[in-house]
Amino acid sequence: MKEPLPPDTVTVPPAPTSSRTRAFALRRWPGWLVVPALLGISLLTLWNSEWLKAPRAMWALARMPAPSTLPVPVEGVAARRIADTFGAPRGRDRTHAGVDIFAKRGTPVRSAAPGVVVAVRDSGLGGRQVWVIGPARERYYYAHLEDWREGLAEGEVVSDGTVLGYVGDSGNAAGTPPHLHWGIYGADGAYDPLPLLKAHRTTNGRALPR
């Protein structure tokens, strides 16, 4: 006959076999895999959503090189008709930080490069103006517009050729022949954009990834 166990003795159950341990671990693995997978899908869906279209375009633009050629941003105007007035004196304390492209009032002004519209405003010397961040995060300045294209707004992603507005004489150009003041600002400030227009031969119709 077995002797009775002391009253304070605890019986320890036998340890599970290795096969049972492996089976239990395998049952837990799917849960650990599903959570990261769902999180990754959610983040990918958010990144590709319409809500993040502008940040997605900004990321793509930052990875693009600055263009070596660009189309004339005013419809129907050839580069050879544009005078190189970059750096010309303007008043007593400033110089011309772009080129003037003359055309009939109301002529469409198109984005010269893919980009994101970062400002649509009526203020200062430029009057009605549009600022676009383009490849290599350079800033494109379209000024003295008669009006903007209906519905144009900050945050809009544009391709080269997208209509931004129409030639006019707003701002300090009031009373002068209608024209677009167009400038490009790189990391070191404004530079002469005319050589890029003269080097351009074809329109590629580039668009940013959607």
What counts of helices (H) and strands (E) characterise the chain?
3, 12
Residue 152 forms part of a structural domain: yes
pLDDT at 153 over 80: yes
Q: How many domains would you assign to the chain?
A: 1
Which CATH number characterizes residue 86's domain?
A: 2.70.70.10
Q: Express each pLDDT in 77-136 by its tens digit.
A: 999 999 988 888 887 778 888 899 999 999 999 999 999 999 999 998 999 999 999 999
In degrees and rounded to multiples of 5, residue 93 shows phi and psi of -130, 15
Task: Give the ranges where 48-122 is alpha helix by DSSP (H).
Answer: 53-63
How far from chain centre, in Å, is Cα 95? 29
Q: Express each pLDDT in 28-52 by its tens digit.
A: 555 555 556 555 555 555 445 566 7
Residue 63 forms part of a structural domain: no
Residues in Cβ contact with 164 at an 8 Å cutoff, skipping those fewer than 6 apart: 109, 110, 111, 117, 130, 132, 142, 145, 148, 149, 152, 158
Rounded to whole angstroms, how far apart are CA atoms 177 and 50? 40
pTM of the model as a whole: 0.75
- If one compares 194 and 31, the residue with the highest pLDDT of the two is 194
Residue 103 forms part of a structural domain: yes
Residue 136 forms part of a structural domain: yes
Residue 42 forms part of a structural domain: no
Q: Domain of 99?
A: 79-198
Residue 9 forms part of a structural domain: no
Residue of 140, 123, 126 whose CA lies nearest to 168: 126
Rounded to whole angstroms, how far apart are CA atoms 188 and 14? 76
**Coil, helix or strand for 27?**
helix
Residue 51 forms part of a structural domain: no
